[in-house]
């Protein structure tokens, strides 16, 4: 299969690209604008593969997308490109509307005009896989059952509302135009190559630098955590074997409060012998409670029974094994995160890495 992956330089996208190159014989066409969240360092191990190519392109650029579809003739699209950070969506929602809604619309239109020109067998085999989040379902009370694929949408933040909008667009392109789509909605991911603005890498790196470990409100918000490489395997199962028109919820069966996550990270850093900055007796001493995020969802939990029953997928990592792998990865890969923290990762993105560079 030749797969056009959007957002392949991001956290989950790069895990998907590494999985496709290392664990399958798929060809990968990575289409990524390289926003602050896109990092080609995360693809260093696979970038030289003859089965990998990269286009530095904004998904709102219809002409550029048309050219890529025509030149590359993909069998499937895995659409991960998005603005993904809830706090940024509160500070500045516009980029979320532009990329997550307008960008998805533009990609759907490019895929549709390409798909319309395919012959019947290739039309039938084509897949447009939209990657989304459990946050579209809103939040849960402690006693509520986990989200299923039929839970009503009730997004709370500009981020989740823009992802919900894009999910609706994708379903309507299937119903109205017949585009063969599949969707997946996943819980919170963690693992290697995670941009340090997100909770888990932020806590690890702040702890190593002796800086406060900020916890929103009382830290009682519950998230269902999934190791990113388990998500990549699930996504490949969905794009290669999922039924057209279906949605699959993906989750790790790991409901933890944010405070439990921070405690686990502090304890793992102690256990792994991480060097403590001067004056820090215990990593837990750095925990600092800060003003809660507006509209903060209380609890997410995903029922992943359908993807298990239909596609045979279950996570390979438990919360304990995945968190240990993650902490070890950050301890062993300081050059990766040092270049992110210094901003150096973004200096080399003026087009020379791209197979092609196209302005939006
Ligand atoms: P990320 O922010 O790490 O990466 C996003 C990638 O998209 C970056 O490489 C960025 O350069 C690229 N991008 C952004 N705007 C673009 C544009 N206009 N054109 C082309 N490329 C653009 O995000 P992530 O955490 O890897 O999430 C990937 C997808 O998975 C998103 O759609 C997100 O909604 C979804 N998701 C994320 C999580 C999670 O826990 N991180 C959970 C469930 C679903």
C-alpha–C-alpha distance, residues 194 and 203, integer Å: 12
Residue 46 counted as domain residue: yes
The secondary structure of residue 277, as a DSSP letter, is P
Classified as helix, coil or strand, 158 is: helix
Look at residue 347 in the predicted model and tell me its pLDDT: 84
Close Cβ partners of 27 (under 8 Å, ≥ 6 residues apart)? 1, 2, 3, 51, 52
Instruction: Give the residue, out of 9, 30, 41, 84, with the most ligand 1 atoms within 8 A of its beta carbon, to mutate for a pocket test.
Output: 84
Supply the CATH number for residue 165's domain: 3.40.50.720
Residue 80 counted as domain residue: yes
Asked whether the CA dihedral 298, 135, 142, 255 is positive or negative, the reply is: negative
What are the phi and psi torsion angles at 258 (to 5°)?
A: -60, -35
C-alpha–C-alpha distance, residues 340 and 48, integer Å: 22
Q: State in Å: Cα 274 to ligand 1 middle.
A: 30
Number of domains in the chain: 1
Could you give the residue ranges of the DSSP H alpha helices within 185-281?
199-208, 228-241, 258-271
Burial of 66 (C-beta count, 10 Å sphere; 0-12/13-18/19+): middle
C-alpha–C-alpha distance, residues 345 and 327, integer Å: 21
DSSP bridge pairs for 78: 5, 129
State mean pLDDT over 3-17.
98
Answer yes or no: is pLDDT of 118 > 60.
Answer: yes
C-alpha–C-alpha distance, residues 141 and 70, integer Å: 48
Residue 50 counted as domain residue: yes
Q: What's the predicted TM-score (pTM) here?
A: 0.96
**Letter string b/e over residues 341-351, b meaning 16 or more CB atoms within 10 A of that residue's CB:** eeeebbeebee
Residue 329 counted as domain residue: no
**For ligand 1, atom 43, which residue shows the shortest CA distance?**
133
Q: State in Å: Cα 312 to ligand 1 middle.
A: 26
Residue 38 counted as domain residue: yes
Look at residue 348 in the predicted model and tell me its pLDDT: 67
Q: State in Å: Cα 342 to ligand 1 middle.
A: 21
| Among candidate residues 353, 354, 335, 356, the one with its CA nearest the CA of residue 344 | 335
Q: CA separation (Å) from 249 to 41, 302, 332, 350?
A: 30, 7, 32, 37
Instruction: Give the residue, out of 9, 10, 155, 192, with the most ligand 1 atoms within 8 A of its beta carbon, to mutate for a pocket test.
Output: 10
Q: State in Å: Cα 273 to ligand 1 middle.
A: 33
The model's pLDDT over 142-172, given as tens digits with 9 standing for 90+, comes to: 999 999 999 999 999 999 999 999 999 999 9
State mean pLDDT over 230-255.
97
Residue 326 counted as domain residue: no
Please identify, by atom number, the ligand 1 atom nearest to the C-alpha of residue 135.
43
Q: Domain residues for 156?
A: 2-193+226-253+300-316
Instruction: Give the residue, out of 11, 39, 87, 307, with the most ligand 1 atoms within 8 A of its beta carbon, to mutate for a pocket test.
Output: 11
**For ligand 1, atom 35, which residue shows the shortest CA distance?**
132
The secondary structure of residue 242, as a DSSP letter, is P
Residue 260 counted as domain residue: no
Q: How confident is the model at residue 8 (pLDDT cuts 50, 70, 90)?
A: very high
Look at residue 360 in the predicted model and tell me its pLDDT: 33
Q: How confident is the model at residue 189 (pLDDT cuts 50, 70, 90)?
A: very high
Give rounded-to-5 percent helix, strand, coil for the chain.
Answer: 45, 15, 40
Q: Please give the structure tokens belonging to residue 35.
A: 């926003």
Pairing of the two strands 255-257 and 222-227: antiparallel
Active site residues: 134-135, 159
Element (H, E) at 7: none
C-alpha–C-alpha distance, residues 260 and 188, integer Å: 15
Is the separation of the CB atoms in 187 and 256 below 8 Å? Answer: no
Look at residue 349 in the predicted model and tell me its pLDDT: 67
Residue 128 counted as domain residue: yes
Q: State in Å: Cα 99 to ligand 1 middle.
A: 10
Q: How confident is the model at residue 201 (pLDDT cuts 50, 70, 90)?
A: very high
The model's pLDDT over 325-358, given as tens digits with 9 standing for 90+, comes to: 999 999 999 999 999 999 999 986 655 445 544 4
Element (H, E) at 12: helix 11-23
**For ligand 1, atom 1, which residue shows the shortest CA distance?**
10
Residue list, ligand 1 pocket, CB within 6 Å: 6-7, 9-13, 32-35, 37-38, 58-60, 80-84, 99, 103, 131-133, 163, 186, 188-189, 195
């Amino acid at each position: 299969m030749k797969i056009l992956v959007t957002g392949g330089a991001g956290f989950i996208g790069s895990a998907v690209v590494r999985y496709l190159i290392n664990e399958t014989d798929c060809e990968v066409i990575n289409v990524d604008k390289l926003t602050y969240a896109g990092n080609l360092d995360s693809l260093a191990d696979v970038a030289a593969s003859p089965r990998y190519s990269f286009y530095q392109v904004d998904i709102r650029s219809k002409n550029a997308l048309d050219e890529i579809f025509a030149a590359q003739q993909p069998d499937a699209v895995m659409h991960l490109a998005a603005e993904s950070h809830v706090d940024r969506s509160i500070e500045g929602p516009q980029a979320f509307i532009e990329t997550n809604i307008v960008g998805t619309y533009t990609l759907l239109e490019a895929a549709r005009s390409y798909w319309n020109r395919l012959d019947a067998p290739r039309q039938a085999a084509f897949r447009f896989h939209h990657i989304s989040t459990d946050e579209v379902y809103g939040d849960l009370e402690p006693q509520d059952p986990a989200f299923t694929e039929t839970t009503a949408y009730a997004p709370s933040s500009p981020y989740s509302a823009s992802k919900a909008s894009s999910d609706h667009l994708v379903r309507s392109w299937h119903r109205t135009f017949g585009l063969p789509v599949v969707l997946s909605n996943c819980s919170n991911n963690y693992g290697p190559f995670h941009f340090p603005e997100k909770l888990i890498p932020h806590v690890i790196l702040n702890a190593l630098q002796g800086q406060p470990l900020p916890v929103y409100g009382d830290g009682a918000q519950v998230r269902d955590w999934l190791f990113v490489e388990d998500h990549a395997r699930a996504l490949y199962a969905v794009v290669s074997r999922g039924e057209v028109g279906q949605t699959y919820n993906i989750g790790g069966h790991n409901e933890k409060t944010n405070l439990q996550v921070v405690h686990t990270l502090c304890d793992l850093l102690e256990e792994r012998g991480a060097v403590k900055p001067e004056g820090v007796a215990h990593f837990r001493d750095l925990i600092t409670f800060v003003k809660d995020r507006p509209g903060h969802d209380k609890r997410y939990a995903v029922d992943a029974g359908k993807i298990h029953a239909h596609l045979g997928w279950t996570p390979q990592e438990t919360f304990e094994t995945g968190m240990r792998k993650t902490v070890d990865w950050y301890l062993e890969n300081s050059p990766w995160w040092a270049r992110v923290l210094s901003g150096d990762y973004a200096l080399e993105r003026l087009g020379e890495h791209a197979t092609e560079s196209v302005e939006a």
